[in-house]
Amino acid sequence: MAATTSAVGSAIDRIEGRQKVTGQALYAYEHGREHIAYAVIVQSTIARGEIRGFDAAAALAVPGVLSVLWSANAPSLHHAEGELAVLQSRHVSYRGQIVAAVIAESLEACAEAAALVRIDYAEEDADVVLRADHPRLYKPAKVNPSFATDTASGDFDGAFAAAEVAVDVTYETPTFHNNPMEPHATIADWGTDGGLTLYDSTQGVSPTRDTIARLFALEPSRVRVVSPHVGGGFGSKGTARPHVVLAAMAARAVQRPVKVAATRSQMFAFTGHRTPTIQRVRLGAGRDGRMTAISHDVVEQTSTVAEFAEQTAVATRMMYAAANRATTHRLAALDVSTPSWMRAPGECPGMFALESAMDELALACGIDPIELRVLNDPDIDPETGRLFSSRNLVACLREGAERFGWAERDPTPASRREGPWLIGTGVAASTYPARRRPAKAFARRESADRYVVRIAAADIGTGARTALTQIAADALGVPIDAVLVEVGDSGFPTAPVAGGSMGTASWGSAVVKACEELRRNPAQREALADTRKDIEADEPLARHAYGAQFVEVRVSTVTGEIRVPRALGVFAAGTIVNPKTARSQLIGGMTMGIGMALLEESVVDRRFGDYLNSDLASYHVPTYADIAEIEAVWVEERDDHLNPMGSKGIGEIGIVGTAAAVVNAVHHATGRRFRQLPLRLDRILDANVV
């Protein structure tokens, strides 16, 4: 059967949409198991120290309580490191660390008993605040995932000192938390055969399976992770978190299935966060705006539990041409939980600083900020010397300028006013790597007009299931309704995590390979594909997606409020598999970037070491009412060097340049430059915006 039209490129509705809106789609905590028990997490109330005494007598006396686990009676784990060494030591490394768990017949009994657990601590002084002059700053061996910590080429110091125009500025971003709608949750069930089944909210069933198997000394085939639907993750569910380990421990202890769900407040403690950053950016250029020197120095935090070094300056290494270059990363290991992935780790905070500095350089040179970026657009990757597989940043800037009405903009800051409102517009560029990783996929011909495709991918709300169905249909040459794609089960062929904007590229490559094998061999019933060798043979090119974000703001001179009447993103991301879900992802990323600029901030309690606003009432995120008009479009781009679909990831690039575009627009509106996020009311008013 031949497909009449191409499925890839069609704006197909979500295949699981009806299940979700009718409540039939099951999330991790909703799966039913017989004789289920519940576990509630008990957290440390100090930021550093040792557990000196533990009394669970009152908790165990509560009717329905089955067990109380802590480091003295918890099962030993194998090769447990960092945050996953749950209940393996009396040492407390940060406030909110898991120090015990109550297991009971009901959630209510768990909560009552957890409040009765008495813990005596030997408290020690804690260090929880990042600062640029921290005495224990150090150079990590690498930055996430495996980039060089520092880079240098040419003579930056000499070129910067000789530059006709120079910008030397420092930007700060606070701690951010991912806050997906669905909390981190797991059901753990040990079978009579000693195998373990986990119903988990995860961005990667295969990696979670491997991690848990290692910790419990099991063969990976003895662990099954099931996660058909995930209510968001933004990176926080990209690796197994402590609650997953705890669920498995608790289920083994009581020999029953156990449910564990992190509360919203607990998600601020042990499910990861984006590190705060202090970033110094130095740009040197001629009067004509052509850059001669670029440097990006980053200070950020990690924990004493495990090292995580966000690759904040990495995008600066390839974004603009300049012969003399340098980047550095330095860490302070603080008494906090371990930072981790959050949407566009590295590129998001790093490009906020770089793109804000580019706006400052444009003003110093007297050049339009779009023209400055066009002037410094490189022909090859400035540091590796590799050719770009495709690079259409300039096309994004030009298309966005036309759509946004940039030509009518008066470049003079604080030149437009309507009553108490100052109005301004800003622009910033964005980029994100176009990666793919090895994956496997299985395809079976059920009948002449029915196919099943299985892969251990994750649909975290992005529409991955739908996109893979479109890809499979085209590879098989059949209509979409002839294909059933099943994901979210570690029993399916192994797949990489839904992260790094590489999901569709990685999974889709394997799906295409399996489906094309079936199509070539009509007598063949099944096919199993592995893309490892294909990816190892990839040509060494610089592969990136690009974009440009345009934002208009209104700033109140009375209250300091900032409103965003309109925002536009234009992107170059290869083949767009599904325009409907792509637009949704890009708008979601831009909305998150606006929240980063104006609202989001995890406020550190300097005395106790945790966060003062650990809920959605006080950790503010943007809603529909905060943004009047937001649109995402893309330029036509074909890149055959990437994968069989020619696609680039779109899950993260939307957030990357948006915060800088907002800040640049606020400067244009007010004439005041803000270098610390978020742009709170007090910061606007303290700047004497009138």
Relative to beta strand 258-261, strand 118-123 is: unpaired
* Amino acid at site 63: P
The pair of structure tokens assigned to 444 is: 């079976």
Q: Which residue is listed with tokens 């686990």?
A: 69
Query: Rounded to whole angstroms, how far apart are CA atoms 66 and 61?
Result: 10
The answer to whether 433 and 484 have CB atoms below 8 angstroms apart is no
Question: What is the Cα–Cα distance from 472 to 104, expressed in whole angstroms?
Answer: 45
CA dihedral (653, 603, 145, 168) positive or negative: positive
Cis peptide before 678 (omega within 30 of 0): yes
Degrees to nearest 5, angle at CA 412 with 396 and 394: 15
Length of the chain: 690
CA angle 546, 177, 51 (to 5 degrees): 145
Which member of 300, 347, 355, 652 is catalytic?
Answer: 652
| DSSP codes joined into one string, 175-191 | BB----SSPPEEEEEE-
Helix axes 658-670, 347-365, angle to 10 degrees: 30
Write the DSSP symbol of residue 647. B
Closest CA to 93 of 105, 81, 77: 81
Cβ atoms of 473 and 443 within 8 Å: the answer is no
DSSP 373-427: HHHT--SB-TTT-PBBS---HHHHHHHHHHHHTGGG---STT--EETTEEEEEEE
HSE value, Cβ hemisphere, 13 Å, CA-based, for 65: 23
Pairwise CA distance, residues 635 & 659, whole Å: 22
Are 28 and 181 within 8 A, CB to CB? no
H helix and E strand count, the chain: 18, 24
Look up 652 and say whether it is catalytic: yes
**β-sheet with 49-55: strand ranges across:** 91-92, 49-55, 118-123
Q: Which amino acid is it at 35?
A: H
As a whole number of angstroms, the distance between CA 113 and CA 127 comes to 32
Pairing of strands 483-486, 185-190: unpaired
The dihedral built from the CA positions of residue 388, 661, 355 and 401, taken in this order, carries a sign that is positive
Torsion of CA 422, 427, 428, 430, to 10 degrees: 130
Angle at 481 between CA 478 and CA 484, to 5 degrees: 95
Taking the C-alpha atoms of residue 634 and residue 476, their distance in angstroms, rounded to an integer, is 27
**Are residues 662 and 590 in contact, defined by beta-carbon separation less than 8 angstroms?**
no
Handedness of CA 179, 182, 183, 189 (dihedral sign): negative
Rounded Cα–Cα distance for residues 174 and 652 (Å): 19
Residue 3: Cβ within 10 Å count: 14
As annotated, the active-site residues are 652
